Structure 1
């Protein structure tokens, strides 16, 4: 069964361009992971500082591989001081039906 989630965070004002570059670079790497099916980055139209990232992996194991990728911890470390939350808020999703 696929592993789907929504990651959310809010950029601290003044860091918009830096975060956009970080996320775009990270997204390109994640999309190359063999177990990744989707890594779609969105900002809210009403608040472009609010990011929503929709992620889908082929399995729980693929998601764990994603977390263990050598570029994931440095990305999260670089992102943390640039966002309002302590870390990205993760909401795990289940398909309906």
Structure 2
């Protein structure tokens, strides 16, 4: 059986003084993404050792679902609001595969 899921983490750092705004933005956006038909998980965390650092764990059913997520207007709106509030030029994505697979 193949595992077609797209699993990734996204990380970004809030600019000084913007962490609470970023928290509110990503929390609202998370509810939108979780309602997408192909989304299995969109979990948002703040690093315990650095509350300005955010980590988002995402799972999509397959590439088609992930592509639909990337093409959604809600994502463009969210990123336009997020970008001026974070240190990095955009979220840093890390695509993940299950351990024990080549």
TM-score in terms of structure 1 length: 0.97
1:41-96 deviations in whole A, cap 9, x for unaligned? 01110001000000000001100000111110010011001000000000000111
Larger Rg: 2
Q: 2:48 aligns with which of 45, 48, 67?
A: 45
Aligned residues: CA RMSD: 0.6
Distance in 1, matches of 2:37 and 2:99, equals 25
Match of 1:81 in 2: 84
Q: Which runs of 5+ in 2 are unaligned?
A: none
**Is 1:10 aligned to residue 13 of structure 2?**
yes
**Is 1:92 aligned to residue 100 of structure 2?**
no
Distance in 2, matches of 1:80 and 1:70, equals 16
SS at match of 1:71: helix
Q: Which runs of 5+ in 1 are unaligned?
A: none
Distance in 1, matches of 2:50 and 2:20, equals 15
Deviation at 1:9, TM superposition (A): 0.2
> How many residues are matched?
97
Match of 1:29 in 2: 32
SS at match of 1:78: helix
1:16-45 deviations in whole A, cap 9, x for unaligned? 221111001100000000100000001110
